[in-house]
Structure 1
Amino acid sequence: MDLGWLAQLGTTGALVLVQAAATDVWQVARPGFTRLLGRGDREREAVAERRLDALAAEVEQTLPAERDEVRLRLLSVWQTRLADLMEEDPAAADALQVLRDELLARLPAPHQQWVLNITASAAGATAQGVMFGSIINHPSPGNGSPR
């Protein structure tokens, strides 16, 4: 299986999960991710429920103006959890993709997108950014430095 695709799936799955917290979509996200993370094991499901409840509580208890910052911080935690899940059980990738797509379709438009702002302020500095993909720099002909 393509590792780049799995990494992207883990990222977008985690993104949809954290975006669903504190929205009406949580009523679908929580049981879906409980099943996915539990993999039919009641103890794993109980652990997943506790973690998902903690995620939702943290987002809900944050002022609305600060929720994107909290979601961004929580995103990396859930990316790791989903990456670990797919490493342990590669078949979970298909279930994650279905769940991600279902939740994404249900999220309100503002939760379906994020904006990344990057600023370079030093003399000669270059700012680059990417969300959920890669940046590849090629040396300029002649001087060997990145563009």
Structure 2
Amino acid sequence: MLTEALTALAAAGGTAVAQAAGTEAWAGIRQRAALLLGRGDPQRERAQLERLDVTAAALVSAVGDEVDRVRQVQAEGWRGRFETLLEDLDERAGQEAAAELRALVAEARNAADSGARMEGNVFHGPAAIQVGDRNRQDNHFGSGA
């Protein structure tokens, strides 16, 4: 049975894969995930690459309200694969795999963060900026704020 921290790591990995699909970061995340799950077996790596391609295709073909549902389903599937990997390895190999999964999650986060940069902007007066997905922002301007 996985520790709470490893379960959370597996969930973060699943989310990272599902969110990276279709982005500029996809090629790197796809390769890193396949290598991690393949554990040095070229046949298993190819099978993971095919699964990753199915994930990307499912997300690219989703439209409208369906996108979030498909992304969640894909994230849960990858979470399960990462959990199984971490459960099946001995302690040393499990620690190595966890470190690789942390690196995959960090790469995905860095790629997502790099797309949210604002550079060279000049504001003359009050300005409100919101970056990200599904954010909530409450702004109050004036003396009653």
Do these two structures clear the TM 0.5 threshold for a shared fold by scoring above it? yes
Separation of aligned partners in 2, 1:59 and 1:111: 22
State the match for 1:86 in structure 2: 86
Which one has more relative contact order, counting CA pairs under 8 Å at least 6 apart? 2
State the match for 2:66 in structure 1: 66
Identity of aligned residues (%): 32
Gaps of 5+ in 1: 116-147
Equivalent of 2:101 in 96, 101, 104: 96
Separation of aligned partners in 2, 1:50 and 1:72: 19
**Shift of residue 27, structure 1, vs aligned partner:** 1.5
Separation of aligned partners in 2, 1:112 and 1:32: 25
**Shift of residue 64, structure 1, vs aligned partner:** 5.2
**Shift of residue 66, structure 1, vs aligned partner:** 2.8
Aligned length: 115
How big is the alpha-carbon RMSD for the aligned residues of Structure 1 and Structure 2? 2.4
Gaps of 5+ in 2: 117-129, 136-145
Letter in 2 for 1:51: R
Once the two structures are superposed, residues 74-128 of structure 1 have per-residue CA deviations (whole angstroms, 9 ceiling, x without a partner) of 121111100001112213111100111111110245997667xxxxxxxxxxxxx
TM-score, normalization: structure 1?
A: 0.70
Once the two structures are superposed, residues 37-92 of structure 1 have per-residue CA deviations (whole angstroms, 9 ceiling, x without a partner) of 11111111011011101000100111255312110111211111000011122131
